[in-house]
Protein backbone atom coordinates (compact mmCIF):
# COMPACT_ATOMS: atom_id res chain seq x y z
CA UNK A 1 0.00 0.00 0.00
CA UNK A 2 1.44 3.35 -1.03
CA UNK A 3 0.66 6.37 1.12
CA UNK A 4 3.20 8.70 -0.45
CA UNK A 5 1.61 12.01 -1.38
CA UNK A 6 3.20 13.73 -4.33
CA UNK A 7 2.12 16.89 -6.04
CA UNK A 8 0.41 14.74 -8.72
CA UNK A 9 -1.27 12.21 -6.42
CA UNK A 10 -5.05 12.07 -6.23
CA UNK A 11 -4.92 13.32 -2.62
CA UNK A 12 -2.81 16.34 -3.63
CA UNK A 13 -5.21 17.07 -6.49
CA UNK A 14 -8.18 16.85 -4.12
CA UNK A 15 -6.46 19.23 -1.71
CA UNK A 16 -5.82 21.79 -4.44
CA UNK A 17 -9.41 21.41 -5.64
CA UNK A 18 -11.05 21.78 -2.23
CA UNK A 19 -8.63 24.41 -0.87
CA UNK A 20 -9.28 23.57 2.80
CA UNK A 21 -7.33 26.61 3.96
CA UNK A 22 -9.68 29.05 2.21
CA UNK A 23 -12.55 28.75 4.72
CA UNK A 24 -15.00 30.53 2.44
CA UNK A 25 -18.14 28.41 2.71
CA UNK A 26 -21.48 29.81 3.83
CA UNK A 27 -22.40 28.48 7.32
CA UNK A 28 -25.29 26.30 6.10
CA UNK A 29 -23.02 24.58 3.57
CA UNK A 30 -20.26 24.16 6.14
CA UNK A 31 -22.65 22.49 8.58
CA UNK A 32 -23.96 20.18 5.85
CA UNK A 33 -20.41 19.08 5.03
CA UNK A 34 -19.66 18.38 8.70
CA UNK A 35 -22.56 15.91 8.72
CA UNK A 36 -20.98 13.79 5.95
CA UNK A 37 -19.66 10.41 7.10
CA UNK A 38 -18.62 7.12 5.58
CA UNK A 39 -21.36 4.54 6.01
CA UNK A 40 -20.92 1.98 8.80
CA UNK A 41 -20.53 -0.70 6.12
CA UNK A 42 -17.70 1.24 4.47
CA UNK A 43 -16.02 1.99 7.81
CA UNK A 44 -16.07 -1.71 8.69
CA UNK A 45 -14.68 -2.66 5.29
CA UNK A 46 -11.89 -0.06 5.47
CA UNK A 47 -10.99 -1.18 9.00
CA UNK A 48 -10.85 -4.80 7.86
CA UNK A 49 -8.65 -3.95 4.91
CA UNK A 50 -6.35 -1.85 7.11
CA UNK A 51 -5.98 -4.79 9.52
CA UNK A 52 -5.11 -7.08 6.62
CA UNK A 53 -2.60 -4.53 5.33
CA UNK A 54 -0.88 -4.40 8.72
CA UNK A 55 -0.50 -8.17 8.61
CA UNK A 56 0.79 -8.00 5.03
CA UNK A 57 -1.99 -10.06 3.50
CA UNK A 58 -3.65 -7.83 0.90
CA UNK A 59 -4.25 -8.84 -2.68
CA UNK A 60 -3.51 -6.18 -5.30
CA UNK A 61 -7.28 -5.62 -5.64
CA UNK A 62 -7.69 -5.18 -1.88
CA UNK A 63 -4.71 -2.82 -1.81
CA UNK A 64 -6.38 -0.66 -4.48
CA UNK A 65 -9.67 -0.78 -2.57
CA UNK A 66 -7.93 0.41 0.59
CA UNK A 67 -6.22 3.18 -1.39
CA UNK A 68 -9.67 4.24 -2.63
CA UNK A 69 -11.01 4.39 0.93
CA UNK A 70 -7.98 6.44 1.99
CA UNK A 71 -8.47 8.85 -0.91
CA UNK A 72 -12.16 9.35 -0.11
CA UNK A 73 -11.35 9.82 3.58
CA UNK A 74 -8.68 12.40 2.75
CA UNK A 75 -11.03 14.37 0.51
CA UNK A 76 -13.69 14.26 3.20
CA UNK A 77 -11.23 15.54 5.80
CA UNK A 78 -10.19 18.39 3.48
CA UNK A 79 -13.86 19.34 3.10
CA UNK A 80 -14.44 19.17 6.85
CA UNK A 81 -11.35 21.26 7.51
CA UNK A 82 -12.63 23.90 5.12
CA UNK A 83 -16.06 23.75 6.78
CA UNK A 84 -14.64 24.16 10.30
CA UNK A 85 -12.49 27.09 9.21
CA UNK A 86 -15.45 28.68 7.46
CA UNK A 87 -17.54 28.47 10.63
CA UNK A 88 -14.68 29.79 12.74
CA UNK A 89 -14.21 32.78 10.43
CA UNK A 90 -17.95 33.45 10.59
CA UNK A 91 -17.72 33.44 14.41
CA UNK A 92 -19.76 30.27 14.66
CA UNK A 93 -18.99 26.84 16.07
CA UNK A 94 -19.45 23.47 14.46
Q: Considering the entire predicted model, what is its pTM?
A: 0.86
- Statement: residue 1 has pLDDT above 50: no
d(CA 75, CA 81): 10
Q: Of 7-11, 81-85, 88-92, which range is least confident?
A: 7-11
Read off the pLDDT of residues 37-66 as tens digits, 9 standing for 90 and up: 999 999 999 999 999 999 999 999 999 999
Give the residue extent of every domain in the chain.
10-89
d(CA 8, CA 46): 24
- Statement: residue 18 has pLDDT above 80: yes
| pLDDT at residue 4 in the model | 53
Amino acid sequence: MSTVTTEHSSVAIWKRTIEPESGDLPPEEARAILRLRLSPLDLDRADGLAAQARSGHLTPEQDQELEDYLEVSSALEFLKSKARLSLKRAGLSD
